[in-house]
Amino acid sequence: MQVSVTRDVFRLAQVFTISRGSRTEAQVLTVTVSDGTHQGRGECVPYARYGETLESVTAQIEDTAVTDRAALQAQLPAGAARNALDCALWDLEAKRAGKRVWELAGLAAPTPEITAYTLSLDEPDAMQAQAAKNAHRPLLKIKLGTPDDMARLEAVRAGAPDARIIVDANEGWSAEIYADLAPHLLRLGVALVEQPLPAGEDDTLLGVARPLPVCADESCHDRASLAALKGKYDVVNIKLDKTGGLTEALELRRAALAEGYDVMVGCMIGSSLAMAPAVLVAQGALVTDLDGPLLLAEDRGTPLTFDSAGVHPPAPELWG
């Protein structure tokens, strides 16, 4: 099996800011796996939050003797490197078989899913303008976790009075701040809050009322995470760069639903190649958040289709 990894850069349509910083481009790793006749591709986004860099993940990929997906699960831990390789191997299997990945996985043919659109963190007036520009979208996501959260949230609601809103605190609140904010989140029609507390401090949620659904993001990586989430969260956010690929993402989805959690499917900022496998995981999810390509000024040659029906399954030329 031949494996190559390249670094690709995609310009963003505008500066994108969250509480951890700003960026003007998405830097991703593209993996190609070939058997000499067919090839498959996958994409990952190394995440500094988990100690990953473009260099470290590239080294992980290059140091792995790739044979098949089953072996890969034991060879690499959950994370960006395994994600790119796992998704590339799924794509390769589909190309070999002349079938779609969902057929190989025993899944129903996917249909479009409405996706959230994330507003960049900014001053309240600017966020109200962003919200008004995107008020036609049915679901908006706001990155919070700052001292001025309420002013920003009020501004977004004023700009998009009819949109569903979800908020992502990015581990930026304390239990006290969340308890104070929760009634206002309800008043403003927020449908869900992601990761209000730092992952290492979320035991406090055991004693906090959850008047609206609370979603585990940084606290949930793969199936091994589920045991520690009981009594704290209502929803788990499945991201392929956290699970280490589609294989574990599908298993986490099954396990989470069986244990009574709702599912959100999220993404890092990447191209359509990174989102394509996640569309399969997002089928029937409570929340789909696969807007990465919508934030780009440029994308892959055969991008995903986004329209009023949502994000569509990939064409085989892209993936799967």
As annotated, the active-site residues are 143, 239
Cα 291 to Cα 57, 95, 141, 248, 307: the distances in Å are: 23, 26, 10, 21, 12
Distance CA 167, CA 63 (A): 38
- Measured distance CA(282)–CA(42) in Å, rounded: 18
How far is residue 41's CA from residue 21's CA, in Å, rounded to a whole number?
Answer: 30
* 291 annotated to a ligand binding site: no
Known binding residue 217? Answer is yes
How far is Cα 8 from Cα 46, in angstroms, rounded to an integer?
12
Q: How far apart are CA 18 and CA 92, in angstroms?
A: 35
Would the annotation count 149 as a binding residue? no
Q: How far is it, in rounded angstroms, from Cα 235 to Cα 48? A: 24
Taking the CA atoms of 242, 245, 251 and 253 in sequence, report the sign of the dihedral they define: positive
Residue positions forming the annotated binding site = 168, 194, 217
Residue ranges for the binding site for Mg(2+)?
168, 194, 217
